[in-house]
Amino acid sequence: MENGAVSSETQQGASYTYWVRETREDAAPLPVPRKLSADDIIASQASQPPTLGSVWNRAGTWEEKNLNKWASDRMKELLMSVDSLEFSSGKAEIEDVSKCVGDAFLVTVRNKKRVGYTYELTLKIKGEWTIKQEKKIVKGHIDVPEFSFGELDELQMEVRLSEEKDLPGSDKQQICQDLKRFLQPVREKLLQLEQELKER
């Protein structure tokens, strides 16, 4: 059989063909397997560009991380730090975040990081207004319907007063208008949350 000749064998009805390489004196030596040391592995990792995501996902393919607990806890913390607001005839503060439901996530795809969330909020409000020379404690809720990452310019609020039986209609309307002024500080806190989410 000459160099590169084809050898064909038949064995119990099965046949296969393979190339036979005959070693000549001037041929390059065959590669010899070598066991990698820890230093070799570290050197090969250092030569590769850093990847985002987990160690097991070096190719940077799809990887999603659930950030619900962190985002919910941080959102409540930020919203509870909103200062009380003063109005022409009263003042109010956020007493509690009674509803904070949604999803937050970090996705690594093609070695790029993307973050996002979708949430709904209800803020418990307590305030004091002077109505007809009489101070009245007013309680209520601000509902923030579903909002998503990057869409805070469209943030909306709906105000519900809890104890409003003895309030005249015009005063109820004024209090609701006053409470809608929480929109701006709430938006600022949510923008801060978005920034922190991007940096995770």
Q: Give 108-133 as a 3 state SS string.
A: EECCEEEEEEEEEEEEEEEEEEEECC
* Single pTM value for the model: 0.69
Q: What is the pLDDT of residues 70-102, one digit of tens each?
A: 999 999 999 999 999 999 989 999 999 999 999
Tell me the C-alpha distance between 198 and 116, whole Å.
Answer: 9
Q: What is the token pair recorded at 132? A: 């007809």
Phi, psi of 182 (to 5 degrees): -70, -15
Tell me the C-alpha distance between 197 and 180, whole Å.
Answer: 26
**What's the distance, CA 163 to chain centroid?**
37
Q: From the CB of residue 181, how many other CB atoms can be counted at a distance below 10 Å? A: 14
pLDDT of 197 strictly over 70 = yes
Among 29-38, 49-58, 133-142, the range with the most confident prediction by mean pLDDT is 133-142
Whether 131 contacts 172, CB under 8 Å = no
